Amino acid sequence: MMIVNGDKDSVDVYKIISGPLNAFTSGIPIAPLLMPDPTFKPTIFYVEGGIFNFAFIQIVEGTDGKNYMLVDIIGADVIVRPNSHLDLIAQ
């Protein structure tokens, strides 16, 4: 969490990195996976390198009336990568 506008309220900031530009530059034998800068104390929810992939992101209203951001990583085989689902609730 971080304070972004000086009002003393903290917010969670999410950075989703996925896609063809990232797929072949990380995780191949000659290039180690690039880890995020530790400045904001990141938490890594899912990491997998060396695959062609993209993120499928949806903003949906749940049955509870709250908004959710759903993220899945899709591989070149058009199948959701195991353990890649992320379900975030709006603040």
Whole-number Å distance between alpha carbons of 14 and 1: 10
- The predicted model gives 39-44 an average pLDDT of 81
pTM of the full predicted structure? 0.67
Whole-number Å distance between alpha carbons of 63 and 77: 31
Q: How much is the pLDDT for 2?
A: 53
Q: How much is the pLDDT for 25?
A: 47
Q: Where are the domains of the chain?
A: 2-89
Segment among 4-13, 34-43, 60-69, 76-85 with least mean pLDDT:
4-13
Residue 18 burial class via C-beta count within 10 angstroms: exposed 0-12, middle 13-18, buried 19 and up = buried
Share of the chain above pLDDT 70, in %: 76
Whole-number Å distance between alpha carbons of 35 and 20: 17
Segment among 40-44, 57-61, 71-75, 78-82 with least mean pLDDT:
40-44
